[in-house]
Structure formats: C-alpha cells, structure tokens
Amino acid sequence: MALFLHSKLLHDHLPFMILVFFSLGACRLHASDPPLTLDYYASTCPTVLETVKKQMECEVQSDPRNAAMMLRLHFHDCFVQGCDGSILLDDTITLEGEKKASANQNSLKGFEIVDRIKNEVESECPGIVSCADILTIAARDAVILVGGPYWDVPLGRKDSVTASHALSDSNLPTPNENLLSVISKFLYQGLSVTDMVALAGAHTIGMARCASFRSRIYGDFAATSGHDPASESHLNSLKSICPPRGADNNITAMDYETPNLFDNSFYHILLKGEGLLNSDQEMYSNVFGIETKQLVQKYAADPIAFFQQFSDSMVKMGNITNLDSFTTGEVRRNCRFVNT
C-alpha cells in the first residue's frame, strides 16, 4: 500500500517533477557546450582509436563478460559529475572515491582493463588522452565486439580532480527502484524516457548479483510472468542460484537467452514478464508506464530501431559533462589517481 501511494504521489506530481529535473540538469549538465569533437586527437594522438580497439578485442576475446563491465563503468561514470573518469579514482588520504559507494561496491569491475588500455595509449601518446575519453571509446568498442551497433564518439573530455561518493548513491538508479523514480534520475541527467528505455537495453549483456534480484524473484516475478510453466521453471532455477538468505554474490545473466550477444532479446524477456531486475520489468509492467511499455514493445519488434536509438542515446549520455572538469580537469597519467 505504501509503495502504491508513493507511486501515485510521484505520478500526480510528475509534470512538475519533469520541469524541476530538466531545470536542475540545465544548470549543471551541458551536452553541447563542451568542445567535444570527432577529430579531437587527429593530430596529437591519431592512433588512439585503433589502440583502444585492439586492446578491447583482446579483453572481450578472453572473456565476453568484459564487454558488459566496460559499458557499466561508463554508465556509472557519466551519472556522477558527468563523464569525467571520476569512477576510476581510488580512495586516498585526501580523496574519497566512488568505488565503495553502495551503488558501485561489488557491482563494478573492469578497472584493470582501463589500466591496461591507458598504459598502451600512454606509451604512444604520453599525457594526451584522458581516461574519461578512453573509457567512452572502450564502451563503444565493447558493444560492437559482442554484436551491437557502431556510433561515432565525440572526444575531448578532461579527467576530474574530484569524485563524489554521495552523488553515486543518489544519482544512480538501483535494481529495486520503481519506474517513476528511475525516470526522474534520467531526466535529471538531461536524458529522456526514450533514452532510458533504450539504454536499459544494455542489460542484454552482463550479469546481476543475487542481492540485486532477490526481492524480485521472491516478490512479483510469478505475477508478471503469468504463472507460465516455462517461466515457473526459470524462476525455480533463479531461486536455486539465489536463496532467500545468503549467497549475495551469486550471479546470473540478465538476459538468459543470449547473455553474450548484444541484441534485443532483453525486451522479449520483459514482454514475458521475466525481467530479472525490478527496475527493468517496471518499464513494461508498471501501470504508469504507458510510454515505456510502448517503447519496450517497439524495440522487441524492431531490433534496428533499438540499435539506432541505443547509439543515439549513448552519444547523448557520453556528452553529459560537468563544465568544472574543463576548467579544473586534467589528463591523468594514472587513471586511478589525480596527478601530483
């Protein structure tokens, strides 16, 4: 009952919320102002794209799950202070990083991959290419390497000299959030409902921890999947992986049909009511999700439309910037630490 009232309150005030979130986003986040260009490194580091691509080919070949790791790192970076590499910073005596925030701890991996790419790039172009740009390029290449679409990556980001543990906890959507709450977090970043549904399609690759989907499988999973025998069998399998208590770090694929292939099967799973995360299934099953339901149906029916919108939304997300990073930012020599 409390959840329903909370959702209803959000629904009744959604037009006002949208205005507020767009206003806040407009003050802080600018997608078009920063000097991001496709040829930013054309003269200073012309090999950077090929270097990142080759390293990512090795990483994904060794383990296809590395693709999802890089994509998730990029997403978690951009939603906190913009895409400025703040997620890559380790804790120090003078700086509290974002890695141990509740939204990131036990969730993010792949930092060593970024280190290896950075070392390769530094050996060719020392002090030129930011870690933020490397992560953005690597996320694009990761998607391509598991069958996803290509998009051009605007470049020229600077690495932040700060991080925000607090914003990581407040800005990032969580697996058990309701639809309207997740929408509000995307609107705050200047991203639309369409962007949200398309970017959620990244869950067609990657794994989720038991702690992230326990409440879903012991909650309304059976109801949203319509008590279908095949769904019940799948649910029993999930419960064997994730018991009611303990085993928080056991993992399973968010897309059990094609877990290592970037395609639109994630949306087919939502149509069946079998979304692993509550925040994903809400896009199709929430009573307020009229627009999101239509988009899920659209992307399930038309993989080309999904690929096109995902590409566009990734560029849009990658352009989220905090202008402070362009005045106080730097090109880190080591992605884990601010230059000294």
Question: Active-site residues: which are they?
Answer: 76
Long-range CB pairs of 215-218 (<8 Å, 24+ gap) are 215/176, 215/278, 216/175, 216/176, 216/275, 216/276, 216/277, 216/278, 216/281, 217/242, 217/276, 218/244
Q: What's the rounded Cα separation, in Å, for the pair 169 and 304?
A: 34
SS3 call for 220:
coil
263, 304 contact by CB (below 8 A): no
Measured distance between the N- and C-terminal CA atoms of the chain, rounded to whole angstroms = 54
Q: Count other Cβ atoms within 10 Å, centred on residue 134.
A: 27
CA angle 217, 209, 270 (to 5 degrees): 50
162, 81 contact by CB (below 8 A): yes
Tokens for 45, please give them.
Answer: 């580091």
What values do phi and psi take at 109, rounded to 5?
-140, 175
CA angle 182, 188, 189 (to 5 degrees): 100
DSSP state of 277: S
What values do phi and psi take at 63, rounded to 5?
-160, 110
